[in-house]
């Protein structure tokens, strides 16, 4: 059996990192002895090593680093997205972490001069006080709402939204006051 410190040394990570992974539930010791030491079997080293790889991969994804996924993974997801598969379907079919699939989908959209909008962002968009079809579920509906919003411009300068933008309202007030 290996102690936390021995696991950390073998994997080249800090003892604090081993403890953190235990705390958040990424790894579980094989046993805790009578002295309270968390002990791991040699077989568990691979589990901890995989956890290390996953953590590093997720960090690279957060940094939008394409090294976070392979070309083969990208090719599979690109082909599925070209066939209109959902991101959930890609996760299930290719057994990839959802963050990996989202990153690949973002690259796929950018390469096609498009934009990938996450579900969380779409929820926020759907809560905005805009006219159109809600909830927005297709790119066509999004375009319809954006065109409708573009029509709602300042009646004076025709650049900013609202009936009269703040700048034009201030200028109108000043001219009405004779300033």
Cβ pair 167, 158 in contact under 8 A: no
pLDDT band at 109 (very low <50, low <70, confident <90, very high): confident
Joined together, the tokens standing for residue 46 give 């691979």
Q: What pLDDT, in 10s, does the model give residues 6-19? A: 988 887 888 888 88
- pTM of model > 0.75: no
pLDDT band at 93 (very low <50, low <70, confident <90, very high): very high
Query: pLDDT grade, residue 157 (50/70/90)?
Result: low
Q: Place 140 in a pLDDT band, splitting at 50, 70 and 90.
A: confident
Residue 80 clears pLDDT 90, i.e. is over it: yes
Which residue in 55, 60, 68, 62 sits closest to 18, CA to CA? 55
Based on its alpha-carbon atoms, the radius of gyration of the chain, rounded to whole angstroms, reads 26
């Amino acid at each position: 059996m290996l102690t936390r410190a021995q696991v950390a040394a073998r994997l080249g990570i800090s003892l604090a990192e081993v403890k953190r992974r235990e705390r958040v539930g990424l790894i579980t010791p094989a046993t805790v002895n009578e002295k309270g030491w968390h002990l791991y079997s040699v077989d568990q080293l691979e589990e901890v090593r995989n956890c290390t790889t996953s953590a590093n991969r997720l960090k690279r994804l957060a940094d939008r680093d394409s090294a976070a996924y392979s070309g083969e993974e990208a090719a599979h997801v690109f082909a599925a997205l070209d066939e209109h598969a959902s991101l959930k379907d890609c996760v299930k079919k290719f057994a990839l972490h959802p963050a990996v699939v989202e990153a690949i989908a973002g690259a796929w959209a950018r390469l096609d001069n498009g934009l990938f909008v996450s579900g969380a962002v779409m929820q926020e968009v759907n809560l905005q006080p805009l006219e159109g079809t809600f909830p927005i579920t297709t790119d066509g509906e999004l375009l319809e709402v954006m065109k409708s919003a573009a029509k709602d411009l300042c009646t004076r300068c025709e650049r900013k939204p609202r009936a009269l933008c703040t700048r034009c309202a201030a200028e109108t007030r000043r001219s009405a006051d004779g300033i």
